[in-house]
Amino acid sequence: MLTKVSTRPHVFETIENRLRELKSNGLYRHYLPTAHMAASPGQTLRMGEEVQVWCSNDYLGLSQHPDLIRAQIESTALHGTSMGGSRNIGGTSTTHVALESELAGWHGKERALIFSSGYVANFETLSVLLSAVPDMVVLSDENNHRSLIEGIRRASCEKRIFPHNDLVELERCLAEYDGSRPKMIVFESVYSMDADASPISAICDLAQKYNALTYLDETHAIGVKGPTGAGICEEIGETRPTFVQGVFGKAIGTVGGYVAGPDAALDYVRSYAPGFIFTTSLPQACMDATLKGLELVRHGTDLRRALTDNSLRMKAALRSADIPFIDGEHHIIPVTVPGGDRVRKVADLLLEDHLIYVQPINFPSVPLGTERLRVTVAPYRTAEQIEHFAYALESCLARA
């Protein structure tokens, strides 16, 4: 009989110690297995019970829209479940081409490029472009998303981080460099953790003054801002950002990300980005559903109005219950619950006692001591559900 010998490398002890440290600090991440139900938007099954999801990025509820579901099913029947290769090996479907053309026109740019996710879109585009230009310097808002941060880190260029939305410090940094030196300002339109917006036009003014490129992440504004949902730039009539990034996995209701911008720059990314070249492309059926989602978003004035109305209704209910929250100007509502243990306990109580799921947000997504619940209120939510959510949250906060 063979004796079982432990082959666990010593290095795993270090990893296990780090995990124990995470758990003891209240920073360990818990994942809730879900089974979203298209017939009941905003609901998921957990141990046979329906749970309301109040933290989804599916801002308009389009992931369960019958038109998108039908488009994906019909396309799957025609084209199958996978492209079977990367974009350069049989993975560029006619729908990929059509969708990239639609996205470029939507943002008023020469070209658009689709990636497997918004994270990959940011990481690959920034890391490749910033490394390609000699003597490049990048100026990055301190609150930028991790995908932007990692893309900048990967690039072999000089990096400067300026305080969040601080135009004075941004200009001071820009003025330090010779006018002929290539520069790029990287920022977001809506910062999802605080629900605040960047001064896009003012940043574009500085970019124009100091001859800098701009890279704008519109992830959380796509679909919900602007007359046709093209983001805050469309809402304010700003056309100057050099690159605009967006995603399909939030308001458009499918999966994937993209960047729109100058033709030559994105052709270079298409030709050199490893995360674009060496990965299987998104299925054509998913892209057909995305085209349908884009169509609904572009004509989704009523959906956007309902999202705004519900967000205002939720804020009023939270105020009435004396529940602290960050009153941003956008649809995301961060409810402040400082303390890693406490925010976890509140989330657990909501789930166990009220069948309400909101994922706690803690470090490193937000600074220690600023933990929160990030609440979104999709158009399908009723006034009664909103009032019940506020009541349930008030009860759980009192017990935590």
How many distinct structural domains can be found in the chain?
2
**Segment 166-208, tens digit of pLDDT:** 999 999 999 999 888 999 999 999 999 999 999 999 999 999 9
Q: Which amino acid is at 44?
A: T
Residues 157 and 276 in one domain: yes
Distance separating alpha carbons of residues 137 and 14, to the nearest angstrom: 37
Check residue 280 and report its DSSP letter: B
Last-in-domain residue among 252, 282, 312: 282
Amino acid 220: pLDDT: 97
- Contacts of 352 by beta carbon, 8 Å cutoff, 6+ apart: none
77 is a domain residue: no
**Segment 40-63, tens digit of pLDDT:** 999 999 888 999 999 999 999 999
Structure tokens at 79: 């084209």
CATH of the domain at 191: 3.40.640.10
Greatest extent of the chain over all pairs of C-alpha atoms, in Å: 78
Residues 119 and 213 in one domain: yes
**Dihedral angle sign, alpha carbons of residues 114, 117, 53, 193:** negative
Residues 226 and 164 in one domain: yes
Q: What does the CA dihedral 344, 347, 351, 354 come to, rounded to 10 degrees?
A: 140
Distance separating alpha carbons of residues 61 and 310, to the nearest angstrom: 13
27 is a domain residue: no
Amino acid 91: pLDDT: 97
Residues 222 and 111 in one domain: yes
Distance separating alpha carbons of residues 19 and 5, to the nearest angstrom: 24
Q: Percentage of the chain with pLDDT > 70?
A: 98
Contact 291, 98 (CB under 8 A): yes
**Segment 114-126, tens digit of pLDDT:** 999 999 999 999 9
Amino acid 2: pLDDT: 59
Question: Using omega within 30 degrees of 0 as the cis cutoff, is the peptide bond preceding 241 cis?
Answer: no
**Segment 328-379, tens digit of pLDDT:** 989 999 999 999 899 999 999 999 999 999 999 998 889 999 999 999 999 9
The residues assigned a catalytic role are 250
Residues 45 and 117 in one domain: no
pTM as predicted: 0.95
Residue 23: band (very low, low, confident or very high) from pLDDT cuts 50, 70, 90: confident
Residues 112 and 260 in one domain: yes
Q: Average per-residue pLDDT in the chain?
A: 95
22 is a domain residue: no
Distance separating alpha carbons of residues 377 and 380, to the nearest angstrom: 8
Query: Could you list the residue range(s) of the whole structural domain that residue 49 is in?
Result: 32-64+300-399
Phi and psi angles of residue 116, each rounded to the nearest 5 degrees, phi first: -70, -20
Instruction: Please name which of 124, 155, 119, 128 lies closest in space to residue 139, comparing C-alpha atoms.
Output: 155
Phi and psi angles of residue 393, each rounded to the nearest 5 degrees, phi first: -65, -40
Residues 235 and 311 in one domain: no
Segment 224-241 mean pLDDT: 98
Q: 88-92, 129-133, 239-243, 363-367: which has the minimum mean pLDDT?
A: 363-367
Check whether 4 has a pLDDT greater than 70. Answer: no
Amino acid 5: pLDDT: 56
Label each residue of 325-382 as H, E or C: ECCCCCCCEEEECCCHHHHHHHHHHHHHHHCEECCEECCCCCCCCCCEEEECCCCCCC
- Contacts of 395 by beta carbon, 8 Å cutoff, 6+ apart: 349, 353, 354
CATH of the domain at 312: 3.90.1150.10
Residues 233 and 104 in one domain: yes
Give the DSSP H/E element, type plus range, for residue 261: strand 257-261
Check whether 3 has a pLDDT greater than 80. Answer: no
Residue 388: band (very low, low, confident or very high) from pLDDT cuts 50, 70, 90: very high
Instruction: Please name which of 294, 284, 195, 199 lies closest in space to residue 247, comparing C-alpha atoms.
Output: 294
Phi-psi region of 40 (alpha: psi -120 to 50; beta: other; left: phi over 0): beta
